[in-house]
């Protein structure tokens, strides 16, 4: 017995006629005949008496209809309740790197709350490399990552922006008047960098090794506020994506020529079930950062 069979049975009872019931359900009459036969065989009862004017419910058929109505009502109530829960209690595990938490996510969060206030976003802050692995392992639903290589086909992705690596220095720093820097010019600079799990720090070290440079990294941290303070206090410079630090008259940012262009992506696991909340968040990201 299935809920569909019960729905068909209820419709037959409404019309007491197989032809009219089949027309109302947009199915064939033989299909309804099979439904009646299957139900009668399964439960060992007779549901209808066949008469010239149509079908007449037996006493067993009436009892069966009463129970079927109760079961269908309960099924409808269950379905409505689950839909309600799905729309009102939606949560997304969202991975962010320190840079993307200040650069790209705030506008997404604002638009998401305006359009879908019922969605709860649970932020998990890690570097891009760790967030990518957590997406692959199914431990995160969505993440914003940075990359200088194509995203593998196992991951769904949407490109949010292109960016570049800049050296942030105090406005009185000797390099502050430069419009562009080479990597050789920063090899002696004390640097405060994001933690080693960060794509940016890994890419920086890799690029320095390529040019046989040992970067002078004096501190790693995921706290953007600490990085800003050290730059503002003339203690260190930092390599970050353009605009990562908020506009301030105390420091300047200068692009470094040897660093490749960087892409910022929203990613998800292609093999993980896509929830409505995830779909809405992807949709909002496309609206906020239209990819032309």
Read off the pLDDT band of 89 (50, 70, 90): low
Domains along the chain with CATH numbers? 3-87 (1.10.10.10), 90-162+263-288 (3.40.190.10), 165-260 (3.40.190.290)
**Quick one: pLDDT at residue 53?**
74
**Quick one: pLDDT at residue 260?**
84
pLDDT at 24 over 70: yes
Contact, 276 vs 90, CB < 8 A?
A: yes
Q: What rounded mean pLDDT belongs to the chain?
A: 89
Compute φ and ψ for 164, nearest 5 degrees. Answer: -145, 165
Read off the pLDDT band of 292 (50, 70, 90): low
- Measured CA to CA in angstroms, residue 287 lies from 172, 187, 281, 282, 284 at distances of 40, 41, 10, 9, 5
Closest CA to 236 of 169, 165, 172, 177: 169
pLDDT at 158 over 90: yes
Contact, 88 vs 118, CB < 8 A?
A: yes
The 10s digit of each residue's pLDDT in 92-130 is 999 998 877 778 999 999 999 999 988 989 999 888 889
> How distant is the alpha carbon of residue 198 from its chain centre?
21
C-alpha span between 203 and 218 (Å, rounded)? 17
pLDDT at 88 over 70: no
The 10s digit of each residue's pLDDT in 187-211 is 889 999 988 778 888 888 888 899 8
């Amino acid at each position: 017995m299935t809920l569909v069979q019960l729905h068909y049975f209820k419709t037959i009872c409404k019309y007491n006629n197989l032809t009219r019931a089949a027309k109302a359900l947009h199915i064939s009459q033989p299909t309804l005949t099979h439904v009646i036969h299957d139900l009668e065989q399964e439960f060992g009862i007779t549901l209808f008496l066949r008469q010239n004017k149509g079908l007449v419910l037996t006493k067993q058929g009436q009892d069966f209809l009463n129970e079927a109505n109760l079961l269908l009502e309960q099924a409808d109530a269950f379905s409505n309740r689950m839909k309600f829960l799905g729309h009102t209690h939606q949560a997304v595990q969202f991975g962010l790197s320190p840079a993307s938490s200040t650069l790209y996510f705030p506008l997404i969060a604002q638009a998401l709350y305006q359009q879908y206030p019922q969605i709860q976003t649970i932020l998990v802050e890690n570097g891009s490399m760790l967030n990518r692995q957590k997406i692959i392992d199914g431990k995160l639903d969505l993440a914003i990552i940075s990359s200088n290589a194509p995203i593998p086909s196992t991951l769904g992705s949407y490109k949010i922006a292109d960016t570049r690596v800049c050296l942030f220095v105090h406005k009185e720093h000797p390099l502050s008047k430069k419009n562009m820097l080479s990597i050789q010019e920063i090899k002696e600079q004390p640097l405060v960098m994001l933690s080693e799990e960060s794509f940016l720090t890994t890419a920086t070290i890799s690029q320095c090794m390529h040019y046989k440079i040992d970067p002078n990294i004096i501190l790693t941290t995921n706290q953007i506020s600490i990085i800003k303070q050290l730059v503002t206090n003339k203690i260190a410079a930092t390599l970050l994506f353009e605009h990562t630090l908020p506009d301030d008259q105390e420091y300047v940012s200068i692009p470094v020529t040897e660093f490749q262009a960087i892409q910022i992506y929203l990613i998800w696991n292609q093999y993980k079930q896509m929830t409505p909340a995830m779909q809405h968040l992807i949709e909002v990201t496309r609206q906020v950062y239209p990819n032309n």
